[in-house]
Homo-oligomer: A and B are copies of this chain.
Amino acid sequence: MTTAPTRRTPADKHDERRRELAESALRTLGELGYAKASLREIANNSDFSHGVVHYYFADKLELIVYCVRYYKATCVHRYDGVVAEATTAEGLAEAFADKLVETILDEAPMHRLWYDLRSQSMFEENLREAVVAIDKTLEEMIWRVISTYAALAGREPAMAPAVVYGLLDGLFQQALLGHLCGREDALANLRTEAVTLLPMLLTPAS
């Protein structure tokens, strides 16, 4: 009713706090991982005390699922700019590979958290629904890249979206682990691997 006059409805304020908590929780989760990030540690790295978590979230799992949903919602469009600005297939491939490297450099803790949660979902059924949904959006994200890459090359993708995503995800995960282990060639390798792989994902040139 009073949407225009009041700047924030109580519900908005409630959601805003959930986002604030989620953001500081993500910092802690990215540093410690799912298992070792306690609610007290999460609250300590925020502006609130440990009890407030249960005021905004039912339990730890709801907080974590909210966190990873919140994070992945923002980075599903990571490659949208790359796709929009590409004019040639080769240019898209290189820009995409650069972006892969860049996000490992900038957001390694978030990525390892994602792989941590996806592994945990193999044990905890309560996590699976959220994880599978996010995995699907990541697959679609990659598919947007590949399909426009194919269009620019005047060819067709030779594999299903899930397969393309699975292949790239394997390389990405390997590079992330290598990067965290201090292997300096991990990211450079990922870049050349991506540029090499992309043409092989299309049907042979007409």
How many chain A residues touch B (CB < 8 A): the figure is 40
Contacts of A128 in B (CB 8 A): 180-181
Cβ–Cβ contact B123 & A32, under 8 A: yes
Known contacts A33-B123, A115-B122: A171-B177 contact under CB 8 Å: no
* Across-interface contacts of A1 in B (CB, < 8 A): none
Q: Closest CB-CB distance, A180 to chain B, in whole Å?
A: 5
In A176-206, which residues have CB < 8 Å from any B CB?
176-177, 180-181, 189, 193, 196-197, 200
A119 x B119 contact (CB < 8 A)? yes
Minimal Cβ-Cβ distance residue in B for A176 = B122
Please report the C-alpha to C-alpha distance between residue A33 and residue B35 in the assembled complex, in whole angstroms: 11
A153 at the interface (CB under 8 A from B): no
B170 touches A173 (CB 8 A): yes
Do B177 and A118 have beta carbons less than 8 Å apart? yes
Task: Name which of A33, A167, A200 has the most chain B CB atoms within 10 A of its CB.
Answer: A167
Complex A-B: 22 CB contacts under 8 Å: A32-B123, A33-B119, A33-B120, A33-B122, A34-B35, A112-B122, A115-B119, A116-B120, A118-B119, A119-B119, A122-B176, A128-B180, A132-B177, A162-B189, A165-B174, A166-B170, A166-B171, A166-B174, A169-B170, A170-B171, A173-B173, A200-B200
Query: Which 8 A-B pairs have CB atoms at the shortest separation, nearest pair first?
Result: A170-B170, A35-B35, A112-B122, A33-B123, A166-B174, A119-B119, A166-B170, A166-B171
Residues of A within 8 A of B (CB): 32-36, 112, 115-116, 118-124, 128, 131-132, 135, 159, 162-163, 165-171, 173-174, 176-177, 180-181, 189, 193, 196-197, 200
